[in-house]
Structure 1
Amino acid sequence: MKMSASTSIVAIRGALLAACAPVALVPAAAFAQDQDPEAAEAAQVETRSEERGLNTIVVTAQKREESVQSVPVAISAFAGDALENGQVTSTTDLAQLTPGLTFNTFQPGQPEISIRGVGTKEDGAGASDSTLVMVDGVYIAARSASNIDIFDLERVEILRGPQGTLFGKNSIGGVINYVTRKPDDIFRVRLRQTVGNYDQFDTAGVVNVPLADNLFTKFSFSRRAFGGYDEWIIPGQDEQPWRTPAQSTQIGGNNQFAWRSQTLWEATDTLEVLLSFDGVDEELGNINRQPIGSTGPLHDCGCASDPIAVDIALGGADSVRTYLGEEDNGGERDAFGVTLELTNEFSFGTLTFSGAYRESDYYFTHDDTGLPPSPPVDLTGSNGNPNDLLLGDPSIGFTFDNSDIVWEDSEQFTGEVRLASNPGRFNWQVGAFATSEQINRSEGIFFTALADASLDPNLAIATMLFDGWAVATYAQVGYELTDRLSVTLGGRYSYEEKEIVAFNEMATSPDLQLVLSAFPPTEGEDSWENFSWRVALDYEIADDVMAYGTISTGFKSGGFTGSATTAEGATTPFEPEEATNYEVGLKGDFFDRSLRVNLSAFYVDYKDLQVTRFFQPAGSVAGEFITENAANAEIKGFEAEFTALLTDNLEIGGFYSYLDATFADFFGTPDISGGGDFSGNDLRQAPEHSVGGHIQYEADLGGDSGSLTANVSGRYQSLAYTNVDNNPLDVIPSHTVGDAWLAWNSADDQWMVQAWVKNFTDEVYRTHVFTQRGNRIGFGTFAPPRTYGMTVQFSY
C-alpha cells in the first residue's frame, strides 16, 4: 500500500478513533481512599499517617485504583512533593531513584531509557521506544517530546518489566506514567522560587479555583533557566577564519517554560468530564562532547587525527567542563497537547472514554567531538596529499570533526475506551485503544574538515516521513480463589502498521560518501500483529504481606532504520521484539507498618532484539547506521526496595538492583575487523549493580516555630556498556552521586525555605558515550557538576 493511495487506511483509522473518541488513558488516583481534597493535596507516596506507620499507596498500575502493596507487579511510585523537595525536575533524575532504570541522552531530543536492560538506541522516525512514557495515561509517540518537566504532579509511577496486556504499545521494557494533580473545590495558590549557582533561576506556580459547586479549574506553570556548566575556549589563531582572538565564555544553559491548564466538571453525581491543555517552549543550550579515548591506526598518532592530542594541544584536556568546538550550538523544543476524559460510574463499574491530541517541534545541532576542525582535507588528493593535514600538528584542529543536526515534528491522536468492574471478589476490565502518528525527521551529518576536490565540508542529510497507526483490544480478569489466594488473567491483541518515505541528499561534497549516499524518495511499509498475555497468582501470607508469581509477555513492533546509508537499508524493515517475563516477588509491611519491603526476582526470555549500531561494514570505506535483529537474549535479576520508620522522626529507605543481561546468540553484520559475533556480550545500559538510599530526619521546633527536615541521599551504579560490541571506549564507568537538602516549614504549612545541594562530592561521570571510525575514537557527555541553591515556597 502506497502512502499516496492510503484512503482505506485513513478511513479505517478515522472509524477506530471515532469509536474510541475522546481521549487518552487512565483516570487519576488519590493516594488514600476517601480523602478530602485538602488531604489529597498534601498526600505523599511515603508519608506517615497520624498513627505511626507508613501510609497506604494507591496507584493505577492496572488501570484501576489499588494499593501498590496488593498489585502483583514491580512498581516504584514517587510523590510529586517528594520529587520537588529532592530537586528532581525531569525523567533524567528519576534514574537516580529507581532500581533497574537507566537514562542516557545523546541529545535532549534523543533520550535512551532502559528498564532492566531493555532499551532502544534507534532514534529514527520509523522506530518505537521500549519504554512507554505517558502523562495521565496518554502515550507520547515522539521521543523528542518525552522528557517531561516534573512540577505539580501527584505522583510518578514506574512499572518494571513487560506491560503487554493493559498498556501494550511497545511497553516491552516498562511504563513511566506521570499523574498530574487534578482541580478540586478548594481555592488554592502555590508559588515556588529557586535560585542557584550557574545562574539558575526557576519560578513555578499553581492556582486552583472552584468556579461553581461542580466546576473547578487549575493552572500551573514552571519556568526553569540556568546559565550553563561549560566554558567555551576559543584559541587565538588568526589563520583560521572561524576563530577569534583567545577568549572564553560560559555556555550550555537552558530556558524552559512549561504550563498546564485543567478543568473538571462534575456533570452529574456519576459523570465527570476532565479537559486538560499543556505545553512547553524550551530553548536548549549547547551540549559539550569530550574526547575520551583514541586507538590506532591513525588516531593514536599524536596528530590532527587524534582527538586526545588535539584536546591537549588546544587547552581543553584539564577539565571535562571545557568546550573547544567552533560554534555555540543548541536548539529548541515546542510541544502542545490536549486531553479530554469522561468517566461515568454505574452500579456495576466505571466506563471511561479518553482521547488526546499532541504535537511537537524539535530542532537541535551539536558538535559531536567538542573540537574545532582543521583546514579542509581533500580526501581525493586533487588538492595535494591529504596526509599532510591528517598527520599534521594537533594544534591545527581535528580532521575528523563532525556535527549533527536534527529537525523533527510530530503529530498524534490517541483514543481509548475502557469498562471496569467495581472492586470485589471477581473483578474485570475490557478496553480498546487506537492511535495515529505522523513524524517527519531529518538528520544532517556534517564533517566540517573532510571534503572532496571542491573543498566544501561534507554535509549529507537523511529524511524520513513516517505515518503509522495501531489498534488493540484487551481484557483482564481477577478472581479471589480463597480469602488469601487470587489469580489474574489478561490478554491483548495488537495490530500496527507503519509506512515511510525516505530520501538522502548530499548538500555539499557530492562525490564523497562518508556516512550517507544520496537516493531519491523511496517508500517502505510493513505491518505486525501480536497477542500478549499475563497470568499472575498472589497469596496473602499474613496481614499486609503478599507473595506473588507472574508470567507476562510483551511486544514491540518492527520499524525502519533512521539515517540509513542506502535506499535498501532505509526501506527494509527490522522485525518486532518479543519478551516473556517470569517473576516472583514479595510485598510486605511489617512491625505495625513501620517497615515496608518489596522484593522481586525475574528471568526474561528476549527474542529478536532490535540492535542499533554505527560502524564501518567490511569492504566499505564509510560508516553506516544499521538496526538489525539479534536472535536471543537472557535477562536475570533481583530488585529490592525498603522504607523504614526507625522513630516517629527518622526515616531511612533504599533500593538494590542486580542485573545479568547478555546476548544468548547474536551474529551481526561484520565490521571492517571481520567481527560480528556478539554472543555472550552484555546488553546496552545494563549495569550489574545499582544501589541507592536516603536518610531523613524531621524535628518539630515547638509552638509556632515550625519544623526542620533534613535529607541525604546517594546512588551507586556499576559499569554499563553503551554499545553491543562491549568496546572498552563505549562504557559508562561506575560512579557514586550524593544529594542533600535541609528545609524549614512553618507551623501553618504556608511557608517552606529549603537549602539544597546536588552531586555534593562533585563526582565527574559520563551520561552518554558513542564511538566512531570503527570504535577507534570515543566521545562522551558528562553529568552536571556540584550545584546548590535555595528554594522558597508559599502556599495558601
Structure 2
Amino acid sequence: MYTNASREGKMNSENHKSFKVLRGLLLAAGSQAILAPVGAFAQDTEAAAPEVAGERRSLDTIVVTAQKREETAQSVPISISAFSGESLEQGQLTTLTDLAQVTPGLAFNTFQPGQPEISIRGIGTKEDGAGASDSTLVMVDGVYVAARSASNVDIFDLERVEVLRGPQGTLFGKNSIGGVINYITRKPDDEFRVRVRQTVGKYDQFDTAAMVNVPLTGNLFTKLSFSRRAFEGYDRWIGPGQGDEIGGNNLFAWRAQALWEAADDLSVLVSLDGADEELGNINRQPVGSAGPLHDCGCASDPIAVDIALGGADSVRTYLGEEDNGGERNVFGAMVEINKDFTFATLTAMGAYRESEYYFSHDDTGLPPSPVVDLTGSNGNPNDLLLGDPSIGFTFDNSDIVWEDSQQFTGEIRLSSNSSGPLKWVVGAFGSIEEIDRTEGIFFTALADASLDPNYAAATMLFEGSAVAAFAQATYDLTDRLSLTAGGRFSYEEKEIVAFNEMPTSPSLLLVLSAFPPTAGEDSWDNFSWKAAIDYEVVDDVLIYGTVATGFKSGGFTGAATTAAGATTPFMPEEATNYEIGMKGDFLDSRLRVNLSGFYVDYRDLQVTRFFQPPTSGAGEFITENAADAEIMGFEGEFTALLTDNIEVGGFYSYLDATFENFFGTPDISGSGDFTGNTLRQAPKHSGGGHVQYIHEFADGHGSLTANVNVKYQSVSFTNVDNNPLDVIPEHTVGDAWLAWNSDNDKWMVQAWVRNFTDEVYRTHVFTQRGNRIAFGTFAPPRTYGLTLQFSY
C-alpha cells in the first residue's frame, strides 16, 4: 500500500516544529487555562474591554433562548455554547466549518458544498438523499432549514449563535437527535445605526458587508443588511488549464426585517432573506490506494497517476480535466407575532424557505485515461487498466447534483411570564417539505462495447410532512433547587418517487441500474421526553443532571442501485442521553468553569455506506439500520481573567463512540461485522484555547486587542468500516488577529491571519472500489488580510 502520508508529512514537519514552540509559550503564559475554550472567549466579548478606572473587570455572559425563554447561558441546565455575532466577526468565522473550530463536540465535514456532514458528539448523518432527515437541526431564528444544500448560513449581523449538544426532543420543531445550531439574527430597534465592514486578503479576498437600522416611526423599525464575500482559488490547475487558479467563491447574502410594535403587548416581526452563490471547483486529491489492481503502480492506481502527471508534490495542485463548480440560490420569509397576556406570552410563527442548488465536481481530481471497453469487444481492457500511469486514471469519475427544495413551517406556543416558581411552555408545530434531487455519476473512461463513457443518474421526488405537540415545565422547589420535565409527540410521513436513468452504456452496471419511476411511502410516530434537576450549590455555581431522549424519523436511500433499494425505507433511530454537569463562576466572576459528562444509548442507527458487494463488480449506495451504539464522553470549558487586560480560555472534549452488535450487509471482503468500530466523525480528543490581551492607549487614543487561538483534533474516521485509508488524521490549527478600536467604537482596524502555521490537513475523505482507493479534500492554506469597520 502507498499513501500520500509522506507528502503531507513533509509539508507539515517544519510547521509542527514552529507550532511546538508556540504551544510552549502559550502553556507557559496560561498553564492549564490555555486549554479553555475559544468558545468561552466568544461568549464573553461584551466584557472584552477593561472597566472604568477603579472597577475590576468581570466575565459577562450571553443571553440565550435554548428553553424558548430568555435566560443566561450559565443558568440553563443544558450543554450549550453561545457565541455573540461580534466575536464571530472578530475571529473571521463565517461558516459552519469555522464554527466547528470553536465548539466542543462539533465536527463538520463536506463532501461538496451542498452536502455538509454535521456531527455532534459522534451523532451525524452521511445520507444526503432527499428522503433522509438530519441528526443536527440548523435553524435561523427558530426556523429549521430542511435542505442540507441551504444549511451553511453566512455569518454577518447576527446577535448570536447557539449550539445545543445532545438530543433536543421536546422544544424544537423537528426532533433533533444530535443537537441544534440556531442562528439568531439581530432585530431592528428604535435607534438609527449604520455599520460598514470591508475586508481584503490573500487570494484576492474582497468581502464587503453593511447594515443600516432605520426607525420609520415611534413603533415601526426596519433593518437591511448584506454581505458579499469573494475570493480567487488557492489551488493551481496543472491540467488543460495550465497555471489557472481554481476553487474561488462569490457569495451575496442579504436580509431585510421590519418590527412593528403595534401595542405595548403586541409585536409583529417580518423577515426576508436570500443568498446567491457561485461555487468554485473542489480539488480532490488521491490520498491512498491498496489491494488488487489499485496498488499496481499503473493507470488504475490513483497515487501512481498523481505522481506520473506531476501532482504529488503539493495538495494545492489539480489535475482534473475540467474546472467544475456550481451555484446556490436561497430565499426565505418569516413572520413572527408575539402577544403578551397577564399570565403568558403567545408566539405564532410561519415561515417559507426555498433553495436551488447545482454542483459538479471531479471525484478523483485526476484526468481520465483513454476509454476502456470493459466487455473486451474492442480489445483487451487490461492493456489500459494496467497501462502506464501517465495515460490518466482509468477509474476517473465525476459527481453532478441538482436539487430544488421548498418548505413551509409553522409553530404556535404559549410561554408563562409570571415570576412564580412554575415556568412552562406548551405548543404545536407543523411542516411540509418538497425536495427534488438528482445525482449523476459519470465514469469518464469506463464503457461497454459502445465506447460511450458510463453515465447514470438517480432522481428522487420527495414530499414530507410532520406535526408535533409539546410541553415543558420547570418548578422551583426552593430558591436553589428546580425540577424540569417535558415531552413531545411527533408524527412524520414521507412519500417518494424514485427512478434511475442510464443514457450511456446501458449494459454496464458500475453503480446504478436503470429502473422506471417507482413509489414508496412510510410514516412514523414517537414520544420524546426530558427530565432534569438542577441545584445552585452557592451563588453562581449550578450542578445539574438530565435524562433526555431524541428521535430521527426513517427515510429512503437517496441514490440506491435498484428500485427495491430506493423504495424500501430504513427505520427511525432513537437515543437516550444521560448527563451530569456543572456551570460555575468563581473569583468574583473572573473564572468560569463548565463541565459535563454524558452517556448516550443510541439505537437503530441509520448508517450510510458506499461499498462493493461480494457478488457484484459494481459499487452500491445503501443506508441501513445498525443495531445500536454506545457513546460516552466528557466536555470541559473555562475562561479566566488573569488580569484586567489578559484573558485565557479553552475547551477539551473526550469522546468514546463505538458500534455495538452492528452486522451490516457484507462487502467485497465478505464481512459486514462492524461491532466495536468507532462511529464516523467522532474524534476521541479535541480541544482548543486562546490568549487575549487588551492595551488601553492614553489620551483617548483607543485600545489595541491581540488574540491568538488554536484548535486540535485527533484522528477521526469518515466511514463505519474504519478503513485506514478513510481517515482524517490529527491536526492542529492556529489563528491570530490584532485590532485597534477607537474610543467611541466608530472605527476598527484589524489585521488577521488564519492557519498561521500553514497546516496541511484533510477536511473530508471518501473511498471507492471496495475501500481500496481514497480521495480527500484539504483545508485552506495560510490566509491573511486587513479588515476596516465603521459604525455610526
In the superposition, the TM-score normalised over structure 2's length comes to 0.93
Partner of 1:328: 323
Q: Name the SS for the 1:166 alignment partner.
A: coil
CA deviations on 1:337-375 (whole Å, 9 max, x unpaired) are 000000011111111000100000000000000000000
Partner of 2:253: 258
CA distance in 2, matches of 1:666, 1:288: 34
Identity level (%): 79
Letter in 1 for 2:189: D
CA distance in 2, matches of 1:466, 1:47: 48
Q: Name the SS for the 2:98 alignment partner.
A: helix
Q: Contact conserved, 2:44 with 2:62, CA < 8 A, in 1?
A: no
Q: CA offset at residue 703 of structure 1?
A: 1.4
- Tell me which stretches of 4 or more aligned residues in structure 1 moved more than 3 Å: 42-51
Please give the residue correspondences for 1:8-157 in structure 2 after superposition, counting only pairs within 5 Å: 44=45, 47=48, 50=51, 51=55, 52-157=57-162
Q: Contact conserved, 1:46 with 1:79, CA < 8 A, in 2?
A: no
Letter in 1 for 2:398: S
Residue among 658, 674, 679 paired with 1:662: 658
CA distance in 2, matches of 1:44, 1:737: 22
Partner of 1:408: 403
Partner of 1:579: 575
Q: Name the SS for the 1:184 alignment partner.
A: coil
CA deviations on 1:558-584 (whole Å, 9 max, x unpaired) are 000001000000000000010000000
Q: Contact conserved, 1:57 with 1:68, CA < 8 A, in 2?
A: yes
Q: Name the SS for the 2:149 alignment partner.
A: helix
Matched, 1:337 2:332: yes
Please give the residue correspondences for 1:684-723 in structure 2 after superposition, counting only pairs within 5 Å: 684-723=680-719
Q: Contact conserved, 1:45 with 1:78, CA < 8 A, in 2?
A: no
Q: CA offset at residue 48 of structure 1?
A: 6.3
Residue among 184, 189, 194 paired with 1:189: 194
Q: CA offset at residue 167 of structure 1?
A: 1.2
Matched, 1:524 2:515: no
CA RMSD of aligned residues (A): 1.1
Q: Name the SS for the 2:444 alignment partner.
A: strand
Letter in 2 for 1:338: A
Partner of 1:770: 766
Q: Contact conserved, 2:47 with 2:58, CA < 8 A, in 1?
A: no
Matched, 1:163 2:134: no
Q: Contact conserved, 2:50 with 2:645, CA < 8 A, in 1?
A: no
Q: CA offset at residue 672 of structure 1?
A: 1.3
Partner of 1:624: 620
Letter in 1 for 2:88: L
Residue among 586, 589, 613 paired with 2:585: 589
CA deviations on 1:174-228 (whole Å, 9 max, x unpaired) are 0000000000111100000000000100000000001000000000000000001
Letter in 1 for 2:141: D
Q: CA offset at residue 507 of structure 1?
A: 1.6
Partner of 1:795: 791
Letter in 2 for 1:482: T
Letter in 2 for 1:89: T
Partner of 1:418: 413
Residue among 325, 339, 348 paired with 2:343: 348
Q: CA offset at residue 56 of structure 1?
A: 3.5
Q: CA offset at residue 551 of structure 1?
A: 0.2
CA distance in 2, matches of 1:126, 1:168: 18
CA distance in 2, matches of 1:266, 1:633: 50
Q: CA offset at residue 720 of structure 1?
A: 0.2
CA deviations on 1:465-509 (whole Å, 9 max, x unpaired) are 000000000000110111211000000000000000000000211
Please give the residue correspondences for 1:253-402 in structure 2 after superposition, counting only pairs within 5 Å: 253-402=248-397
Q: Name the SS for the 2:170 alignment partner.
A: coil
Q: Contact conserved, 2:50 with 2:644, CA < 8 A, in 1?
A: no
Letter in 2 for 1:636: M
CA distance in 1, matches of 2:386, 2:295: 10
Q: Name the SS for the 1:319 alignment partner.
A: coil
CA distance in 2, matches of 1:432, 1:49: 45
CA distance in 1, matches of 2:142, 2:399: 33
CA distance in 1, matches of 2:294, 2:102: 39
Structure 1, unpaired ranges of 5+: 1-41, 235-242
Partner of 2:631: 635
Matched, 1:508 2:508: no
Matched, 1:449 2:438: no
Letter in 1 for 2:607: V
CA distance in 2, matches of 1:757, 1:507: 48
Letter in 1 for 2:635: E
CA deviations on 1:284-343 (whole Å, 9 max, x unpaired) are 000000000101210011100000000000000000000000000000000000000000
Q: CA offset at residue 618 of structure 1?
A: 1.8
Q: Contact conserved, 2:44 with 2:61, CA < 8 A, in 1?
A: no
Q: Name the SS for the 1:212 alignment partner.
A: coil
Q: CA offset at residue 57 of structure 1?
A: 2.2
Q: CA offset at residue 696 of structure 1?
A: 0.6
CA distance in 1, matches of 2:370, 2:225: 51
Letter in 1 for 2:587: F
Q: Contact conserved, 1:131 with 1:170, CA < 8 A, in 2?
A: no
Q: Name the SS for the 1:83 alignment partner.
A: helix
CA distance in 2, matches of 1:784, 1:720: 19
Q: Name the SS for the 2:666 alignment partner.
A: coil
Q: Name the SS for the 2:238 alignment partner.
A: strand
Q: CA offset at residue 168 of structure 1?
A: 5.2
Q: CA offset at residue 656 of structure 1?
A: 0.3
Letter in 1 for 2:434: Q
Q: CA offset at residue 43 of structure 1?
A: 8.9
Letter in 2 for 1:640: G
Matched, 1:225 2:230: yes
Partner of 2:15: none
Letter in 1 for 2:409: T
CA distance in 2, matches of 1:170, 1:566: 30
Matched, 1:214 2:219: yes
Residue among 650, 653, 659 paired with 2:649: 653
Q: Measured at CA, do residues 657 and 46 of structure 1 come closer, stay the same or move farther in structure 2, by a change above 3 Å?
A: farther
Partner of 2:8: none
Q: CA offset at residue 126 of structure 1?
A: 0.1
CA distance in 1, matches of 2:585, 2:48: 14
CA distance in 1, matches of 2:67, 2:694: 34
Q: Contact conserved, 1:589 with 1:596, CA < 8 A, in 2?
A: yes
CA distance in 2, matches of 1:597, 1:181: 28
Residue among 471, 475, 481 paired with 2:477: 481
Matched, 1:470 2:470: no
Q: Name the SS for the 1:575 alignment partner.
A: coil
CA distance in 1, matches of 2:582, 2:400: 48
Residue among 547, 562, 567 paired with 1:566: 562
CA distance in 1, matches of 2:47, 2:616: 56
Number of paired residues? Answer: 745
Partner of 1:428: 424
Q: Contact conserved, 1:48 with 1:54, CA < 8 A, in 2?
A: no
Letter in 2 for 1:253: G
Matched, 1:779 2:775: yes
Q: Contact conserved, 1:48 with 1:55, CA < 8 A, in 2?
A: no
Q: Measured at CA, do residues 43 and 777 of structure 1 come closer, stay the same or move farther in structure 2, by a change above 3 Å?
A: closer
CA distance in 2, matches of 1:48, 1:100: 29
Q: Contact conserved, 1:168 with 1:492, CA < 8 A, in 2?
A: no
Q: Contact conserved, 1:103 with 1:112, CA < 8 A, in 2?
A: yes
CA distance in 2, matches of 1:494, 1:480: 28
CA deviations on 1:247-285 (whole Å, 9 max, x unpaired) are 221111000000000000000010000000000000000
Q: Name the SS for the 2:156 alignment partner.
A: coil
Letter in 1 for 2:323: D
Q: Name the SS for the 1:388 alignment partner.
A: helix
Q: CA offset at residue 68 of structure 1?
A: 1.1
Q: CA offset at residue 704 of structure 1?
A: 2.4
Q: Contact conserved, 1:49 with 1:55, CA < 8 A, in 2?
A: no
Letter in 2 for 1:572: T
CA distance in 1, matches of 2:307, 2:677: 33
Q: Name the SS for the 1:389 alignment partner.
A: helix
